[in-house]
Amino acid sequence: MQTFYKKLGGQIITPLLIMILSAASSWGAATPMPEFQLPGVGDSPATIRAQDFQGKVLLVNLWATWCPPCRREIPSLIRLQNENQDNNFTVIGISMDTSGRDKVEKFTRKIRINYPVALGNNDVSADFGAQGAIPSSFLVDTNGIIVKRYPGYVPYETMAKDVQELLH
């Protein structure tokens, strides 16, 4: 390394090389699901906490009522919940709506969302690494580790396959 440093002038190359090596070492690192405690909506518990789902496979979905791809994805999430709720699995919806609880409650009842829904905020979005993009989903294993990230709309078949791999 020292020879490489001297031959290339060092001042720019070494910091760049350190950044590249640091990034490479974190690419494969497991990311724990962030802790959260959020107000529940509709028929959900009054408070939805990450710790209440320990030991389960989770699909955490950040969404909003006004988002067309989110609305298109929700029937797949309802189906996944129906098919796997008895197999140590649950979907958790985190609404990123800023228009208030009433709008989200009305929406969840109208389309009969069958999984817990919480009111999210910018902090939870940042903690998951969603960077404000919705829909964004995160598949979490029974150890609380995020094993898949889905930025944007994801077809049912993709999510179902990934969920099944974790459940079996």
If you ran DSSP here, which 8-state letter would residue 85 be given?
T
Supply the pTM of this predicted model: 0.81
Going 128 to 134 to 139 to 142, the CA torsion angle's sign is positive
**One domain for residues 77 and 135:** yes
pLDDT digits (tens, 9 = 90+) for 79-103: 999 999 999 999 999 999 998 899 9
Domain range holding 20?
A: 1-27
**One domain for residues 13 and 85:** no
DSSP-derived secondary structure for 99-147: S-HHHHHHHHHHTT--S-EEE--HHHHHHHT-TT-SSEEEEE-TTSEEE
**One domain for residues 76 and 145:** yes
**One domain for residues 76 and 49:** yes
pLDDT digits (tens, 9 = 90+) for 36-64: 999 999 888 899 999 999 999 999 999 99
> Which residues touch 83 (CB under 8 Å, ≥6 apart)?
160
Give the total number of structural domains in the chain.
Answer: 2
Strand pairing category for 117-119 and 136-140 = unpaired
Domain CATH number, residue 56 = 3.40.30.10
